[in-house]
Amino acid sequence: MHGFTCSTCGEYHEELPMCFGADFPDYYFSVPPQEREKRIEYSKDWCVVDEDHFFIRGRIEIPVHGSDELFCWNVWTSLSEGNFIRSQEFWHDPERVHEPPYFGWLQTVIPGYPETLNIRTFVHTQPVGTIPRVEVIEEGHRLTLDQQQGISMERVIELVTPLLH
């Protein structure tokens, strides 16, 4: 789908964005801005707060009915210290695709869904250079169901519209 007429502003938008995301895990914002440089280490792919809270960036992919495209959320999940260290050890190793999934807690608020902070996930490593895939495993949660069953293009537009305004 190339464009759509927005129900909020009434204008035609040339493109329908299919991927949104967060630059930092939600927990990052619990640290006062003046303390972040001292307490937080991060890159675009990982974040460590107070040498005690470990996060990795990944992507939730949602199939779209009648389309080959996926609707994506770039998100952050927490990992245990051991899994975080292991993920970093294998970061540049092509064999990382054989790693079992890492359990994590979602650390990104996703608009258009009921509370998403701290819902259960699995983080699946992908080939080197590809963002990990996040599988939502919170039983009965709308995001879990959408990821498993896919969503309509109308639902994509419903999710995207408020993010454009």
- Rounded to an integer, what distance in angstroms lies between the CA atom of residue 73 and that of residue 19? 6
Q: Which residue has the tokens 């896919």?
A: 150
The one-letter code for the residue type at 96 is R
Q: What is the pLDDT of residue 30?
A: 96
pLDDT beneath 50: ranges in the chain: none
Q: What is the pLDDT of residue 13?
A: 62
Q: What is the pTM of this model?
A: 0.90
Alpha-carbon dihedral sign for residues 69, 73, 74, 79: negative
Q: What is the pLDDT of residues 69-100, one digit of tens each?
A: 999 999 999 999 999 999 999 999 999 999 99
CB burial readout 96-118, b (16+ within 10 A) else e: beebebbebbbbbebebbeebee
Q: What is the pLDDT of residue 44?
A: 94
Note the helical H segments in 22-152.
Answer: 36-39, 81-89, 142-149
Q: What is the pLDDT of residues 124-137, one digit of tens each?
A: 999 999 999 999 99
